[in-house]
Amino acid sequence: MHISDGILEPEWIFFWYAISILFIALGLRIINKRIKADPVYLPRLSLIGAVVFVISVWHIPVPVTGSSSHPVGTPLASIIIGPFAAVVISAIALFFQAFIAHGGLTTIGANTFSMGIVGAFGGYFVYRLLKNISPLWFAAGMAGLAGSMLTYMTTALQLALSLNPGDVMYYWKLYSLGFIPTQLPLAFAEFAFTAYVIKYISETSGMENIQPGCPLDRFTKTALVLMFSITSIIAIGAYIGYLGGANMAGTDSTVEGMAAPIASPGGIGVRLMSILGEPLGFALVGITGGLFTGYFWSELRRKN
């Protein structure tokens, strides 16, 4: 995921630096407050920083994107020390990695944004969301998986914005798909790794940010297995399609040919998509449908 020097255009270098500096400043404020209250917080933080450095330095080159794939480690760090502190330590880790030609000095801002900010906050958000409804290991694992995938989606966006400003959406998809063959297995590895590490730490030492979670029921397990399976099938299918020259056009032409003639041009679906755009529109449809199905599931089963 580390973008090297010389890839991003100067305006994007400054843009990502500006955003990252804001988060680093906030993180430093929080860290300084914590150190005043508990001086031993400093070595704990540095230790987790060393863990992030070691985890994120194992990299595999990714042919399509001109970047690399590796576990990110920031979701694990954000669970142990909090997301703002994770931003600061990931910036420091990236600074050191720049000197071993992994990443770059001018791209620390962009890399901190993807790995430190999006990876840490995304992972932490997922962890907090799942912690109270699932076992601790599962919440931590999902944080690792989500943090890892979000980091790479962000890197793909950063590359598309800087290298191909004329057609950002197409190249974002292209770079994201380029990461899939290496990053998808690594994200699952990060799921297992984060889950085991947090489980181990929670069983052997009482760290304040890590509290036991809840067991996972059968319904949730089935839903998650289905979600993983379907997402993987779609991702692999899209990748195979891209290799076969499908150009990631999706099913638009099929839909237009079969459904459009009988669809009302002023219908709510058409209007929603034109207002929100496709990704947000589909997300809204997914959320509404999911909430409705989940809410009435037990009742529907009882009736059947």
Q: Which residues here bind another protein, judged by CB under 8 A? A: 4-10, 13, 24, 28, 31-32, 35, 39-40, 42-51, 53-54, 59, 61-68, 80, 88-89, 91-93, 95-96, 98-102, 104-106, 163-164, 174, 189, 192-193, 195-197, 199-201, 204-205
Question: How near is the Cβ of 120 to another protein at its closest, in Å?
Answer: 15
Nearest residue to 93 (alpha-carbon basis) of 68, 76, 67, 72: 72
DSSP assignment string, 31-80: HHHHHHH-TTHHHHHHHHHHHHHHHHT--EEETTTTEEE----HHHHHHH
Question: How near is the Cβ of 196 to another protein at its closest, in Å?
Answer: 3
Provide the greatest CA pair distance for the chain. 69
Residue with tokens 């791209």: 107
Identify which of residues 7 and 153 has a Cβ nearer to another protein in the complex: 7
Instruction: Note whether 107 and 12 are within 8 A (CB).
Output: no
Could you give the 3-state DSSP secondary structure of residue 289?
helix
The Cα 84–Cα 87 span in angstroms is: 5
Instruction: Note whether 52 and 74 are within 8 A (CB).
Output: yes
Question: How near is the Cβ of 136 to another protein at its closest, in Å?
Answer: 13
Identify which of residues 105 and 260 has a Cβ nearer to another protein in the complex: 105
Identify which of residues 43 and 266 has a Cβ nearer to another protein in the complex: 43
* Extended beta strands in 198-256, E state: none
* Extended beta strands in the chain, E state: 60-62, 67-69
Identify which of residues 247 and 254 has a Cβ nearer to another protein in the complex: 247
Identify which of residues 185 and 237 has a Cβ nearer to another protein in the complex: 185
Identify which of residues 42 and 283 has a Cβ nearer to another protein in the complex: 42
Question: How near is the Cβ of 263 to another protein at its closest, in Å?
Answer: 34
Question: How near is the Cβ of 124 to another protein at its closest, in Å?
Answer: 18
Question: How near is the Cβ of 128 to another protein at its closest, in Å?
Answer: 21
Instruction: Note whether 142 and 127 are within 8 A (CB).
Output: yes
